[in-house]
Structures are given as structure tokens and as C-alpha cells.
């Protein structure tokens, strides 16, 4: 199997998240099943994207046929103009020599910090633009500001807008993050963790494409003729501007910064919530678009009733208690295992305040009463045991005890026979018990 085939399989595994069936993350799958780290896996995936037909398949593109795998690996990060110099018959050593010579030619350019012919740098972001070759084009030096006549050149804002149009649902979630987080660094970090938690997320069509990598690598957006690379901070900044311009009034947002959940007509789902993520009957946040009251923990599923403390929270009275209250300081509350959503409740609160739920108070009283009853019963049993120890017990008469038991079992057998309708197996069992006790009595009489 060639390395681009391996890359295709890894790409499919990651894009479709097939590893989730047995592993908690993609890295864990790589280490356990393939003994491979994430860096190595991304190289295989990149090889698939570059060398396979249409960038996603098992068949290698026709122009790369004839090259050895070692040479293709050396060409992985090579620009197109340098690839043209590589022939299928070349060895790895020859390819590395060409790369070394090209690197030496680039050194004077880096020292003078002048962009190459046809490259345009905007706002300090890395950018590549395809410009048709022409002998009439005169190279000119371009500063890091916008050129006077950009023509078809687009800025970062335009590329982010194209992404919003291409991925409206995903963009909506990212905009909610932008509106929720106050600091741009926090926005950038939250966006990266949301959109590319495993360091790789790409997609697109023939007209527009995107690739979200790790936080250090950043974001890559591209069209047929242009491609741009930007940091997550810059992406968050541009996305935040778009979100602020298109944002609905705050009254139409939930406490999580999400819109009210809406279902299509005829849907069997009808629960109130926000962002198709949170449900009102479980939510413990003060919210302006709440469509249903939070249910009490004591409430049965068939006949739920409202949480009393939530009514106080909505009025703002719990602010008087401060950070000691679970409803105000969610860090003190229990968090659900799946969504990690705060689930505060007075019944598990150690603070005693005037706003405590009456049901939790009553439950605590009942628990204390039951504890006291258990202690009282324990004391009675202990006192009876002590009394029995102090008294001189009479010697046990085995014959009398066995005869008493025998008479009781005989009476049970007679009752079974008189009543009638008793299963034969039960009657047979009782006969065996009576016969065994009778034999025991005879043995005791003989021993005497």
C-alpha cells in the first residue's frame, strides 16, 4: 500500500470520525492501532490531498505517476514552480540538491524582506495569488499596505465572508462564540477548539475551500485564484465584526448567547430550548427567552413541577447570597457527565439561607428523623442484648424443642390437606419435614 493510500484511509477515518466508536480522540486511535503520532498522520493525509486524483482518492494523479515514493515525499512541501524541475528519473539526492539551491536563492530576498514577483502582502498576513505569466509584467516592490489598484485581490474580511456563506450553520456557532467571549484571544482559542479540536478540519468545493489546523498553524482559505493564511486571532476578529453587524437584539438570545430552538413544521420534537443544544426544563440560567420553567429534581417524569429556586433566581434575589449559592456560582454545582452543564440544587447545598427550597428542607428533616429512629432502635437492641447477658439462661431441653417444632409442622401438613388445592410438591415437601422431625425425636428418645 502506497503512502497516499494510507493518507486517504486516515483522511476518511478523521473526516467521518469513525474512531469515535472505540476511542475518545483521534490521537488515541493513532497510538493504539497504528503506533503513529498526529504529525506523521497529517503528512500522510497531505500526501493524499496533493498526489491523489481530485485530492481525495486511492488513485494517484496521472502527472505524478512514475515518481518513486521517496521522491514524492521530498516534493510534498515543494512549490509548483520547483516541482517542474523534478523528473521521475531523479534520485532523492538530486531532488534535495535542487531544494538546497532554491533555498540559497531565497536567502537574499528574505534579508531584504522584499516580496517575490507577483506576490502581494496585505495587513501582514501570508498570502499567495496566482497571476498569469506575461513578459510585459514589470516587477515592482509592494509594501505591507493595500495596493492602489488591487483588481481581483480580496482582503481577509472578504474571505471570511465567503466562509460564512459556504458554511452558514458552522459560522453561526462560531459567531455565538465571538459574541459570548469578551477578549479576542479567548475567542480565537475557543474557535480553534470548536472547529478543529484535533488539529485538522478541511472542506470546500471547486469554487471555495478552507482548512482549519492547530492554533499555531492557523486558518487557510482559498479560491481558484487566491489563497490566504491567517491566524485564529485575525479570523476571530473578522468574524466578530460580521457577527456584530448581523447580530439580533440581545433579548432574542439565551443566556448562552444562542437563538431559540425552532423545529420544522410537523416535527415530533417540540421541547423548548436554545441553539438545538440546551433544554429549558434542565437549564439553571437566568434567561430572557425561556420558553419553559426548569423542572424540580423531586418531580416525577410523568407529572413534573417547577423549580422554586429558579423563580427567585429570575427575580435577581439570589444575588444577595453571592458566590456561596450554586445557582449564582455554577462552579459549586454538580455538572452533568455528557454536556458538562451545571445542575445546581438546594438538596445538595451545604449553605443554609432564607431562599432554600422548602422541599429540600423537608427532606433534610425526614433524613434526620430516620437517622434518629435508627439510633434509637440500635440502642434498644443493645440494651436487650445486655439484659440477656446479665440473666442466667435456663438449660436448653432439646427433646421439648424438637417436639414443639414437630407438632407445628404436623399442624401445617393437616391444614394443607384440609384446605385442598395445594400443589403436590408443597405437600410432599411438608411430609418430608414431618418425617425427618419424627425420626429425630425417635433418635433422641433412644439416646436417653
Amino acid 369: pLDDT: 63
Least confident of 8-12, 170-174, 292-296, 367-371: 367-371
Instruction: Give the span between the Cα atoms of 307 and 328, in whole angstroms.
Output: 15
174: nearest Cα among 91, 108, 257: 257
Least confident of 4-18, 351-365, 431-445: 351-365
Amino acid 182: pLDDT: 80
Amino acid 111: pLDDT: 41
The grid coordinates of residue 311 equal: 423563580
Q: Is the per-residue pLDDT at 92 higher than 90?
A: no
Classify 147 as helix, strand or coil: coil
Q: Is the per-residue pLDDT at 325 higher than 60?
A: yes
- Bigger pLDDT: 38 vs 114: 38
Amino acid 142: pLDDT: 41
Instruction: Give the span between the Cα atoms of 357 and 307, in whole angstroms.
Output: 8
Q: Which helix (H) or strand (E) holds 399?
A: helix 398-419
Strands 342-343, 334-335: pairing is antiparallel
Q: Is the per-residue pLDDT at 122 higher than 70?
A: no
Amino acid 192: pLDDT: 92
The grid coordinates of residue 95 equal: 531532488
Eight-state DSSP code of residue 225: S
The grid coordinates of residue 71 equal: 521522491
Q: What is the DSSP string of 300-327?
A: -SSS--B-HHHHHHHHTGGGGTGGGSTT
Least confident of 103-107, 150-154, 182-186: 150-154
Instruction: Give the span between the Cα atoms of 360 and 208, in whole angstroms.
Output: 57
Q: Is the per-residue pLDDT at 137 higher than 60?
A: no
The pLDDT of 253-261, averaged and rounded, is 80
Three state DSSP letters for 164-222: HHHCHHHHHHHHHHHHHCCCHHHHHHHHHHHHCCCCEEEEECCCEEEEEECCCCCEEEE
pLDDT above 70 as % of the chain: 80
357: exposed, middle or buried (Cβ count in 10 Å: 0-12, 13-18, 19+): buried
Amino acid 394: pLDDT: 61
The pLDDT of 373-391, averaged and rounded, is 69
- Bigger pLDDT: 111 vs 238: 238
Q: Is the per-residue pLDDT at 195 higher than 80?
A: yes
Least confident of 83-92, 285-294, 402-411: 285-294
Question: What order do you get walking across the sheet with 219-223 strand by strand?
Answer: 127-129, 226-230, 219-223, 208-213, 200-204
356: nearest Cα among 343, 342, 345: 345
Instruction: Give the span between the Cα atoms of 298 and 77, in whole angstroms.
Output: 62
Amino acid 136: pLDDT: 44
Q: Is the per-residue pLDDT at 269 higher than 80?
A: no
pLDDT band for position 164 (50/70/90)? very high
Classify 122 as helix, strand or coil: strand
CA distance readout (Å), 210 to 164, 288, 301, 384: 11, 36, 46, 81
| Mean pLDDT for all residues in the chain | 77
pLDDT band for position 130 (50/70/90)? very low
Amino acid at each position: 500500500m502506497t503512502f497516499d493510500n494510507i493518507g486517504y484511509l486516515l483522511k476518511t477515518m478523521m473526516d467521518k470520525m469513525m474512531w469515535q466508536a472505540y476511542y475518545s480522540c483521534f490521537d488515541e486511535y493513532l497510538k493504539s492501532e497504528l503506533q503513529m503520532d498526529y504529525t506523521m498522520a497529517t503528512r500522510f493525509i497531505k500526501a493524499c490531498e496533493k498526489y491523489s486524483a481530485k485530492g481525495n482518492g486511492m488513485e494517484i494523479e496521472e502527472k505524478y505517476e512514475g515518481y518513486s515514493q521517496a521522491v514524492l515525499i521530498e516534493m510534498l512541501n515543494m512549490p509548483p514552480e520547483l516541482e517542474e524541475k523534478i523528473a521521475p528519473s531523479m534520485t532523492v539526492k538530486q531532488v534535495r540538491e535542487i531544494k538546497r539551491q532554491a533555498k540559497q536563492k531565497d536567502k537574499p530576498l528574505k534579508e531584504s524582506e522584499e516580496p517575490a514577483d507577483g506576490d502581494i502582502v496585505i495587513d501582514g498576513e501570508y498570502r499567495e495569488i496566482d497571476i498569469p505569466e506575461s513578459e510585459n509584467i514589470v516587477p515592482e516592490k509592494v509594501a505591507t499596505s493595500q495596493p492602489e489598484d488591487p483588481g481581483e485581490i480580496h482582503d481577509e474580511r472578504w474571505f471570511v465572508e465567503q466562509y460564512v456563506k459556504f458554511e452558514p450553520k458552522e459560522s453561526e456557532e462560531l459567531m455565538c462564540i465571538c459574541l459570548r467571549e469578551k477578549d479576542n484571544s479567548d475567542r480565537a482559542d475557543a474557535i480553534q477548539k470548536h472547529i478543529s479540536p484535533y488539529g485538522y478540519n478541511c472542506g470546500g468545493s471547486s469554487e471555495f475551500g478552507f482548512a482549519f489546523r492547530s492554533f499555531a498553524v492557523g486558518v487557510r482559505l482559498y479560491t481558484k485564484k487566491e489563497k490566504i493564511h491567517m491566524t485564529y486571532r485575525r479570523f476571530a476578529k473578522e468574524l466578530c465584526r460580521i457577527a456584530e453587524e448581523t447580530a439580533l437584539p440581545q433579548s432574542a438570545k439565551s443566556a448562552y448567547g444562542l437563538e431559540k430552538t425552532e423545529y420544522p413544521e410537523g416535527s415530533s420534537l417540540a421541547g423548548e430550548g436554545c441553539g438545538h443544544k440546551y433544554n429549558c426544563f434542565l437549564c439553571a440560567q437566568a434567561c430572557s427567552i425561556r420558553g419553559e420553567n426548569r423542572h424540580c429534581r423531586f418531580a416525577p417524569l410523568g407529572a413534573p413541577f417547577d423549580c422554586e429556586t429558579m423563580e427567585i433566581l429570575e427575580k435577581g434575589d439570589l444575588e444577595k447570597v453571592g458566590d456561596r449559592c450554586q445557582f449564582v456560582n455554577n462552579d459549586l454545582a454538580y455538572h452533568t457527565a455528557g454536556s458538562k452543564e451545571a445542575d445546581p440544587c438546594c438538596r445538595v447545598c451545604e449553605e443554609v439561607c432564607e431562599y432554600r427550597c422548602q422541599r429540600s428542607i423537608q427532606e433534610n428533616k425526614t433524613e434526620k428523623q430516620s437517622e434518629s429512629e435508627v439510633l434509637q432502635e440500635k440502642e434498644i437492641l443493645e440494651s436487650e442484648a445486655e439484659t440477656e447477658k446479665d440473666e442466667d439462661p435456663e438449660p436448653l431441653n432439646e427433646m421439648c424443642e424438637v417436639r414443639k417444632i414437630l407438632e407445628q409442622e404436623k399442624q401445617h401438613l393437616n391444614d394443607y390437606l384440609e384446605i385442598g388445592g395445594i400443589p403436590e410438591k408443597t405437600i410432599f415437601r411438608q411430609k418430608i419435614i414431618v418425617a425427618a422431625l419424627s425420626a429425630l425425636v425417635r433418635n433422641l428418645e433412644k439416646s436417653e
